[in-house]
A and B are shown apart, each in its own frame.
Chain A
Amino acid sequence: EPEVTQTPSHQVTQMGQEVILRCVPISNHLYFYWYRQILGQKVEFLVSFYNNEISEKSEIFDDQFSVERPDGSNFTLKIRSTKLEDSAMYFCASSGYTEAFFGQGTRLTVV
């Protein structure tokens, strides 16, 4: 069964450093998403990506964040200068014309 895969599963980084979270969406999907879940809180939408551009983004997705689909298969989330409050589980998702399928998540810990 096709699945969304995310790497790494856990990333520890120092405050102020740049991190790149990677995702391989399901191959025939058209829409790609990043969500995050801070420990103990709800899953929050960050950004959606379609046709090689951002289609929607939340207030959380500020200038420190960027997304890219560099090679037609990977979908990346970059955080330029991480802050302590960026520590969370980050989920990538992809969809065709129905429900979104989620990856297993990357746990980002900023120290």
Chain B
Amino acid sequence: DSGVVQSPRHIIKEKGGRSVLTCIPISGHSNVVWYQQTLGKELKFLIQHYEKVERDKGFLPSRFSVQQFDDYHSEMNMSALELEDSAMYFCASSLVNSDYTFGSGTRLLVI
């Protein structure tokens, strides 16, 4: 078990472009959440899925969509990228009411 795996690790996109971030949770973890962190500041909650159903949405822009698949992996589709979207994107997984394990994050730079 290699923990929560995020890909890609780093990505550079042009303003207005699109990107897809992937999160593979720990085996058996059906609760997956996404966070955005800008410049080492607090982590902003974006969205949570549990058992492939969206449970809660936070600061997720309407230009972004997130889907959880049958094997519980999650994909964040980002479109019409803006400079302000440059950040670290973390996903984390857990069992219900258990502690979260975070992935190593994806660093997105929009130029």
- Bind each other: no
Task: Give me the interface of B with A, judged by CB distance under 8 Å.
Answer: none
Task: Give me the interface of A with B, judged by CB distance under 8 Å.
Answer: none
